[in-house]
Amino acid sequence: MKLPYEFDERMKKMLGEEYSDFMASYDRPRLRGLRVNTMKITPEEFETIAPFPVKKVPWVSDGFIYPNDVFPARHPYYAAGVYYLQEPSAMTPASRLPIEAGDRVLDLCAAPGGKATELAAKLRGTGILVANDASNSRAKALLRNLELFGTENMFVTNEMPERLSGVFSGYFDKILVDAPCSGEGMFRKDPDVAETWSPERVRYFASQQRNILENARKMLKPGGYLMYSTCTFSPEEDEQMISWFINTYPDLSLQEMEGYSGFSEGRPDWADGNPELRKCVRIWPHRMDGEGHFLALMRRDLSSGSDREDSGAALHGREKKRTSRGRVSGRTRERQTLSSDIRPDSEQLELLREFLPQAETGRIERRSDKGYYVQELPDGAGKLNFLRNGLYLGEWKKKRFEPSQPLAMAKRPEEFENVFSMKPDDERIARYLHGETIQTDPKRERVSSGWNLICVDRFPIGWGKYANGIIKNKYAASWRR
């Protein structure tokens, strides 16, 4: 593989005797991976039902490697949100951020959603996940992937970091910054990245990263954890960036992460010599099976922060002790609404009960004729550019309610009375995903009249409406293959 001259020369100096092994890694085929959606299935269960050969990723509990001649996106399990396709090294940052039930979590540079979906799975419907991307088109892909995974406790935004930090000061328990970077670790995966590389781009991204990190710190509550990651080898974007950050903000300290035999320590000699930088993790493609990555986990001191931040953190601590959030069912908690939201009337709520019998009515809001199960947010959140607050439930039409695709993905079969399930090899699944009607066999299949949750095995893929031996297709047009 032809590499940029300046990059090649720098890597020779950085790696010394390891340089030839590093270069040899470019001749090896890239590894392809998927990460299991633990909101729907355990890794152990998936291993027993996997429809193609898989091998565990040894440093990530829910990750698997699959052969290069397999195409998991073509299998119905992908449409059911059972797994997310992700390069094995890229699974690492979210796996090392210590998420707890009820946390407020921010993924600041989240698109297309690989790490955000993992954070959502770790929260398991508790707390809140704010997933942001500055690009509107990429934020739309992010929302789609979160909805495919069945995420309900989300606020998906399309904002610059400084706008977010003005609203969410001292708000988050955990923050992930998978920073935009020069992408040197992805040259093998995507050779086009190598063609656009230059030393100027390294400096450009380093400037962006400093701005992103400063705003991320403003949003981190005292005692909270911040994970910084890149997919590049450049010390300017890795050890030097972290050295600058913790020197500029002494209330931040580097933390140890769960180890793995293939991980390499950070290199203090590539920055200011601070031995704490050894707590960073480097993933080298010639030392383990994965593309290049860098990780640094930091914690903000409990004693740091302004009065506003400290009071917000204390309030959040009381809320977490007082409240345990679950899935879309019975939850009792006060909320703040966005200014344009109104509550549905009693008739609309009654129509919705078919699909959400136990939902807390105070959390259901109506915008025009659409219903949402919303998350409580701080003052000012309504002024942000956002794509979704909470779970989109569906639409009221005259004397009926039509449930949404995201609601189907957030459901479990045991949560809805009428379920029509097909095996993965049933040819009707492909027709359903194309938007076609489904014929049933009354002699062999039991189907209830009206709305049915359509599943592949026990995993929902959408809605259908049954009458006279035919299931009318209600799979969202924008999701169809």
Q: What is residue 338's predicted lDDT score, i.e. its pLDDT?
A: 53
Token couple for 481? 């293959």
Other beta carbons less than 10 A from residue 433's beta carbon: 19
Cα separations in angstroms, 441 against 445, 457, 471: 6, 18, 11
Go through the chain and tell me how many residues it has: 481
Give the SS3 label for residue 263. Answer: coil
**Nearest alpha-carbon partner for 410 in 33, 37, 137, 48:** 37
**109 among known catalytic residues:** no
Q: How far apart are the C-alpha atoms of 60 and 79, rounded to whole Å?
A: 23
The catalytic residue among 109, 181, 231, 455 is 231
Give the SS3 label for residue 193. Answer: helix
Q: What is residue 145's predicted lDDT score, i.e. its pLDDT?
A: 98
Whether the Cβ atoms of residue 237 and residue 180 lie closer than 8 Å to each other: no
Whether the Cβ atoms of residue 304 and residue 222 lie closer than 8 Å to each other: yes
Q: What is residue 305's predicted lDDT score, i.e. its pLDDT?
A: 64
Q: What is residue 317's predicted lDDT score, i.e. its pLDDT?
A: 43
Q: What is residue 446's predicted lDDT score, i.e. its pLDDT?
A: 87
Element of type H or E holding 433 = helix 427-433
Give the SS3 label for residue 473. Answer: strand
Per-residue confidence of the chain (481 residues) as pLDDT tens digits?
889 999 999 999 999 999 999 999 999 998 999 999 999 999 999 999 999 999 999 999 999 999 999 999 999 999 999 999 999 999 999 999 999 999 999 999 999 999 999 999 999 999 999 999 999 999 999 999 999 999 999 999 999 999 999 999 999 999 999 999 999 999 999 999 999 999 999 999 999 999 999 999 999 999 999 999 999 999 999 999 999 999 999 999 999 999 999 999 999 999 999 999 999 999 999 999 999 999 999 999 998 765 344 434 434 443 443 333 345 543 333 334 454 558 899 999 999 999 998 777 788 999 999 999 999 999 999 899 999 999 999 999 989 999 999 999 999 999 999 999 999 999 999 999 999 999 999 889 989 999 999 999 999 999 999 999 999 999 999 999 8
Whether the Cβ atoms of residue 386 and residue 155 lie closer than 8 Å to each other: yes
**Nearest alpha-carbon partner for 445 in 426, 459, 473:** 426
Q: What is residue 104's predicted lDDT score, i.e. its pLDDT?
A: 98
The contacts of residue 218 (CB under 8 Å, 6+ apart) are 165, 169, 170
Element of type H or E holding 213 = helix 199-219
229, β-bridge pairs? 178, 295
Instruction: Dump the DSSP string for 335-385.
Output: ----TT-B---HHHHHHHTTT-TT--GGGEEEETTEEEEPPP--TTGGGS-
